[in-house]
Structure 1
């Protein structure tokens, strides 16, 4: 019992622990909090609260005026005290305040998001204050810099583009009501934002923002060789606001072997490897290495029964070298995946019989490598590999 936590001890005694309900704020309270967050951010950047004084920056002096008003109003103190981890509401100013008239006009107040209504000139009332997070998000999205080590990431973007073309990856639109959370954004994910593919290259340590929510700093690299250091919340908000924003799915083999059949799925299927008996010079010279790799939902024998009259089979009989039985496969996706892996080894053949024909499913690859590829298809790791003809082996892409 000594090892039990307080919550566990209470549970043992049958005492139910009610979880505190998340508080909701009125629009006015949200504006007050947003105004206070600006002051907190100033303190984080400068190591001190904003102060009065003619030698101070005009914006710091306005922040100081705002802080004075927040200290004076009991409703503001009650609202902000739980968020005031720096003790700003209790810190007395050591410099005599200057008159608001000395700071000047509504245009400067508007720069800080403090709007004075025509019939109400009380500066204590904060109106139309945009969220500090909203301003940071706009700034961070715009402030992209050149990615100095883009050569590291370029192959990743090229691979993602190929995966999208072949159907290994797909894109999903962002719908806020669908419940996509900050926690769903992780290192290594790809998105489409602002017309560019965005890659989450680094994910910093989590921290608690002034409003109490968790956040983190991200390094996001874009396909146009730029990058930005975004907050997690800023990236999420930008994706929601971008009507063309998309999440790029992971390159996993899972959908090929789904537990439940979907449209286009097969109850069973077979990957087959064929060797041609053609007397074409290229085929004859490399007969033991040139293979046709395909997928069928029926009998392989029935599939190749008319090989000698089919351009796909080089107008020649074929020999079945290997077959592999699989279950719950989407044939189109699987064939696209196999052809992507062996794309660099595609045999450039032209068969002349009437009109010239260029078969596409023949590859210069040893049977042992094809065996390995099938094994990786089964365990789901194939999407991390491509075939390298120089090494005659699968290599990590």
Structure 2
């Protein structure tokens, strides 16, 4: 073989580290690299890492939350070690903790109950914090809410409520929080409770109990409720969820011919998972008949409008759970899929 037949520049053994081809970055890595860059500039300017605490400016608190997101996602950031020039993520010697962010580190654990409650029922399982892999579905809504607050078109209000609703936004410890799904509704210590899917603006999520989030919001004197909105600029152009139409697979004769119509900010498949364990689904599996995408409407407001339109077809049901307790099952209607479709088209298709 002659020298002319050998391309030394393409031989991987002869390439320098700078010459070797680099793997394409995923959107997650691209976003993480941008966050590292902003944090590095802040540390260079101030000599300290950003902290989310009362009295800190908005820029620092947002950077602190983004830093927490990097720490929570450290295992997924392979290849960005060089960007962590101050060792704030990869240079930490302790084990990465998915609960490690300012929201949960300030004034104790979000799941820590007061002394007066310690003897009461404990969570059936501990909620975890993890990267939100589908955050892009919520990004526009987060940006719209943040912009609306900055412009003054939406006024955050002090938190004074015993439960949270699907689609609501809150400010908690300086971080924007969105209730993307409500499931497994039940009673706990005599009060309504549920398992939530909560999305945080540092691109992480948690499946904590409603009671845990409510307690945390009351503990934070600076917590604010931003809430949800119907049609309008808040969700303009944003995918906000789905309307679903279901049929129960229950053998109960009074259920035959009924449809369940509701909304979810997440996927319908996630919403109906473990339907047989939930009173809302009559403790029985369900069949997904139809789904409609919501664009430009909060899921909760859309649900209110849909149920108001379907009120003439509503059927009240009571169901007994495996433990013998009785529950009221709502969102069940004696109608057909064509009626639901026509109503949906008139209300939401633009």
Tell me the TM-score normalised to structure 2 length: 0.32
- Where is the helix percentage greater, Structure 1 or Structure 2? 1
Higher Cα Rg: structure 1 or 2? 1
Tell me the TM-score normalised to structure 1 length: 0.29
